Amino acid sequence: MEGRDTDRAGVGGTVADVGEFGLIREVTGRQQVPKGTVVGPGDDAAVVEAPDGRVVITTDVLVQGVHFRLDWSSPEQVGHKAAAVNLADVAAMGARPTSLVVGFACPADTDAAVATAVSDGMSAEAARAGAGIVGGDVVQADQLVISVTAIGDLGGREPVTRSGARPGHIVAVCGRLGWAAAGLAVLGRGFRSPVGVVNAQRAPEPPYEAGLVAADAGATSMIDVSDGLLADLQHLAESSDVGIDIASESLEVDRKLVDVAGALGADPMHWVLTGGEDHALVATFPSFTDLPQGWRQIGTVLMPDTGVTVDGKPYDGETGWEHWR
């Protein structure tokens, strides 16, 4: 398989050579269980502490050829991405990520080094969010599939859902927009640079701490940008029964995106408005709120039945990603 680095991963042969239990021993032996783990890998199920008395749980499935390609990304980057997309969902609830449970499926002839490198990438990204892997399963399949369940702790806060936005609230964002979409466009044209843009698609960097900060600052609703800014704001607007208007002049279009768009004949604002997989956080706040550091206002919550608009008008074109379409 392309994109592997068997020397760095430190294990040879295929997963069939290593065997199911050998692979589990290899993977778990490379990890440190996170704080708050009562029973970690090796038993029928993991046991983790829940100091708040409530647990935030989310799951995502990543499929080779749909969510990642090993000729575009290293196995470590694939693992990084698999962890990040789940950890961002926990952060978007105003919770602190604590642990991950991972399901890993692959063909028998997959290099064992690929599997352990994917695990290393997940562990490293989980550690960046203050979490770790506490259990999971490995099985044979026709292609590489990674299913991650993330668990988080609210720390006494109420969860920040999608349904709390009200007319008059402000809409704010923390994190980058459009970079992962630009990286996907570059990779799709057969290029591998600029590296910063390409890596935004390979290994997104969600602002995990910003979710906690937003919750403490009084965020009334929140969502991570996985499908596209306009598409995800539509989810939020429908849940809250409100309209939302985005001011395009408030959206930051980095010079690198402008340069890449110019080279590819694309519109960088389209990436910013509709590109997913950056996993920035978007939230609504009461109008009197002093936004926390790193957050910037990009729009306003309106009365119901107005939809999600840009500069007061419906957006012309697809607003984001949706499976089976």
180: three-class secondary structure by DSSP: helix
With contact defined as beta carbons under 8 Å apart, do 165 and 287 qualify? no
7 annotated ligand-binding residue: no
125 annotated ligand-binding residue: no
4 annotated ligand-binding residue: no
Q: Angle of helix 195-202 relative to helix 179-188, nearest 10 degrees? A: 100
With contact defined as beta carbons under 8 Å apart, do 60 and 89 qualify? yes
67 annotated ligand-binding residue: yes
Q: CA distances (Å), 8 to each of 41, 74, 75, 121, 219, in order?
A: 23, 12, 11, 12, 43
26: three-class secondary structure by DSSP: helix
Residues 6+ apart with CB under 8 A from 177: 225, 229, 251, 252, 271, 272, 273, 275, 278, 280
267 annotated ligand-binding residue: no
207: three-class secondary structure by DSSP: coil
162 annotated ligand-binding residue: yes
Q: Per the omega criterion (within 30 degrees of 0), is the bond before 194 cis?
A: yes
Closest to 247 in 3D by CA, of 176, 296, 180, 306: 296
60 annotated ligand-binding residue: yes
89 annotated ligand-binding residue: yes
Closest to 112 in 3D by CA, of 4, 234, 189, 251: 4
136 annotated ligand-binding residue: yes
44 annotated ligand-binding residue: yes
142 annotated ligand-binding residue: no
Q: How far apart are alpha carbons 294 and 284 in whole angstroms?
A: 14
123: Cα separation from own chain's centroid: 15
Q: Which amino acid is at 153?
A: D
110 annotated ligand-binding residue: no
For the annotated binding site, the residues are 44, 58-60, 67, 89, 136-137, 162, 224, 226-227, 277, 321
For the annotated binding site for Mg(2+), the residues are 44, 58-60, 89, 137, 224, 227
For the annotated binding site for ATP, the residues are 136-137, 162, 226
For the annotated binding site for substrate, the residues are 67, 277, 321
